[in-house]
Structure 1
């Protein structure tokens, strides 16, 4: 497989920097038994981390738009538990590339077709954020917008807390390169998921039982109705739920976190650089992250959350995926004008 480790830069007549792979340097030893077939214009690469392990990257180059003089920031997508790079590649990578953004979807270690580290779990907030930072530092030539879903949003929050104070430079004292912005999509709030669990136990005990059975006991992997209720809207077609259920089951061969160690590292520290723009995006029908969790994240970053009606937790895969994508696109347009 091609690698994204040795790169050449190509400047087109409109001064947009592009990244293309130059050499075949690495490959993952793991192949999903239920593969995600890449869409037209997408390519799969493997970024070699300092540990020697390879991280899967699905790339889709942005199409040139009418306003070709504008340099749109690259978008880097980080998935949550039971998912991998494919969850972004299904709908959102084609959408945002059509709107002129170079898109990179990562599979965290132990997920998707990335290599697995030694141990029982894939890593920690610190190690996952460091892997994302290494990818951005070595492969991305201008400050990207970093987008994270669910527990991936918590990783993005930890990354944001460790970006240095200097503005718009690639090298930072904490080794987390500068960002053009951050998007938290149905994200676990800065305090973690314990508040969500306790609220469910007291206010929605049946829902609490279902979500615990679905996620902690992984019952979503064998029950189609429970998978649908956990991640998708009621209007989602069963054949699509079944397809994603198989991909989720195959993607997550080891837990993303040790939850006890994760809780010990929370809450996430605040950002040092308050100039980085943040979008907090939620879903009205989210079965996992409730309205208070969404509002907590908004308060932490001093922004008003955007809550999309008629869509569930897997906002990028749900039948109304375009609603969330359009909300992010509108926010990106404001971000570009601000620059």
Structure 2
């Protein structure tokens, strides 16, 4: 199937399972789609920190439906997922405006608006889960001091030290990348223009093609070039600033989790582990200044309060791949120990 489109996504909402609902958050630019998942009405325990999910490039809030249903209905954790402008049912800039003039900062502002809405509704900080380029945005807003969060999960995310290596991996994986881009008149979705390319970039080899096609039909029709380009060169964030915007640091708990996918052809395990090491250094700086220089072994088995986990067999879209339950359970375990 061929996926390139030059007009905005038709406003056809994906169906939501029981327990999930759709909200729209008003901003000065337009409305943003927010999918919410509440625990079952029979649940009578304490209200827990909500989890806020942020999709990556070409994505939308619906990519989190499986995880949100599992976390909210089985583990009683309220969940929210945002569609940035130009994605899902959020407001759509024109092709030229989105592709050439929408910056990563503009998209980060959408993320901040979504989080602040949920904070106001829930009266508490969120646990922020960012995937791919959405993980990059998650780090950017914390580095800038826009919000505080109760925990941070970077799932197959752009590393804190920049994404040049990620796109080098993509070019190595797809030798026709550049020529195809010119053939498609520099359309930003060119690297994901058919079933084979989407599957190779996002999923493991055993993912059925029919499911890949169903996933691709909900991808945004065009994407911002300035979003990935703005994360490519140089350091993305100062990890010390990110760590300081995460609340509740205490002995024997982890507040950051780096979640890698074993078969990810874009964000390798080596790159994700490197990001974990960077954040461990940032947490140690915090320990020296705020926890009276406690040694790392006071923080349990996950050295320096940063948990690193690998989802075996999964591709880049680990939340939508065959092994999605494995990653979801890792998020539950991380949330439980906060």
TM over 0.5: yes
Find the counterpart in structure 2 of residue 19 from structure 1. Answer: none
Find the residue that maps to 2:313 and give its secondary structure: coil
Aligned length: 285
Q: Quick check: 1:149 aligned with 2:131?
A: yes
Deviates more, 1:311-320 or 1:138-147: 138-147
Following superposition, the deviation at residue 111 of structure 1 comes to: 1.1
Q: 8 Å contact 1:154–1:189 — kept in the other structure?
A: yes
Find the counterpart in structure 2 of residue 281 from structure 1. Answer: 259
Q: 8 Å contact 1:133–1:177 — kept in the other structure?
A: yes
Find the counterpart in structure 2 of residue 126 from structure 1. Answer: 105
Following superposition, the deviation at residue 199 of structure 1 comes to: 5.9
Find the residue that maps to 1:229 and give its secondary structure: helix
Following superposition, the deviation at residue 295 of structure 1 comes to: 1.6
Find the residue that maps to 1:306 and give its secondary structure: strand
Q: 1:195, 1:304 → 2: CA distance?
A: 22
Q: 2:319, 2:16 → 1: CA distance?
A: 16
Deviations 1:31-61 (A, max 9, x none): 6366412222221121011x24111111111
Normalising by the residue count of structure 2, what TM-score does the alignment of the two structures yield?
Answer: 0.76
Change (3 A) 1:298 1:64: farther
Q: 8 Å contact 2:188–2:222 — kept in the other structure?
A: no
Deviations 1:83-141 (A, max 9, x none): 1001012x111011111111111001111111134724373332222222222223322
Deviations 1:190-245 (A, max 9, x none): 122212334676xxx4x152676699863454421221111111111121111011
Q: Quick check: 1:83 aligned with 2:65?
A: no
Change (3 A) 1:65 1:123: farther
Query: Structure 1: 5+ residue runs without aligned partners?
Result: 1-29, 164-175
Find the counterpart in structure 2 of residue 326 from structure 1. Answer: 329
Find the counterpart in structure 1 of residue 70 from structure 2. Answer: 95
Q: 8 Å contact 2:189–2:221 — kept in the other structure?
A: no
Q: Which has the higher helix share?
A: 2
Find the counterpart in structure 2 of residue 237 from structure 1. Answer: 208
Equivalent residue in structure 2 for 1:291, among 269, 273, 283? 269
Q: Quick check: 1:255 aligned with 2:233?
A: no
Q: Spell out structure 1 runs of 4+ moving beyond 6 A.
A: none
Q: 8 Å contact 1:211–1:230 — kept in the other structure?
A: no
CA RMSD of aligned residues (A): 2.7
Change (3 A) 1:306 1:72: same
Q: 8 Å contact 1:53–1:117 — kept in the other structure?
A: no
